[in-house]
Amino acid sequence: MDPTDEHEGEHLDGNGVAGILQQVFAADFTTFQRVCQSCGDRNMGGALRSYLGAGIVLRCANCGDVAMRVSPRDREIVVEMRGVWSVAITSS
């Protein structure tokens, strides 16, 4: 199934896929900041809308444009991110 094959109205928030994405980024993506490439909206990863299929699609809550696509492919996970993301990584 194409990960963009979404069921309208069945979306969750970024929070709803936070566990899976924490495996991908090794960080809490819900607190990443993003500025939308389409509408300029500034928000956190947790505020995006998430659509779950074979992969994950995250969309801007304001304009609906794609913010991130996470697609499992063979043995890897391909992550495409759109817009300007700022990711705070605390050094330990």
Partner 1 sequence: MERLAPRKTPLVWRVATVRDVRTESATARTIVFDVPDWPGHLPGQHVDIRLTAEDGYEAQRSYSIASPPADHALELTVELIDTGEVSPYLVEELQRGDQIELRGPIGGYFTWQPADGGPLVLLAGGSGLVPLMAMLRHRDASGATVPVSLLVSARALPALLYRDELSCRARDGVEVSYTLTREAPSGWTGWNRRVDAEMLRAVGADPQRRPLVYVCGPTGFVEHVAELLVGLGHDPHAIKTERFGPSGG
Per CB under 6 A, does 15 bind ligand FAD? Answer: yes
The residue (of 19 and 88) whose beta carbon lies closer to ligand FAD is: 19
Q: Can residue 15 be called a binding residue for Zn ion (CB under 5 A)?
A: no
Q: Which of 15, 38 has the CB closer to Zn ion?
A: 38
SS3 string, 16-55, reads HHHHHHHHHHCCCHHHCEEECCCCCCEEEHHHCEEEECCC
Name the 3-class secondary structure at 81: strand
Which of the choices ligand FAD, Zn ion, partner 1, none does residue 26 contact, using the CB cut-off of 5 to 8 A by kind?
partner 1
Residue 49 Cα to chain centre, angstroms:
8
Cα distance between residue 74 and residue 54, in whole Å: 12
Is 16 among the residues that bind ligand FAD (CB under 6 A)?
Answer: yes
Asked if 38 touches ligand FAD (CB under 6 A), the answer is no
Binding site for ligand FAD (CB under 6 A): 12, 15-16
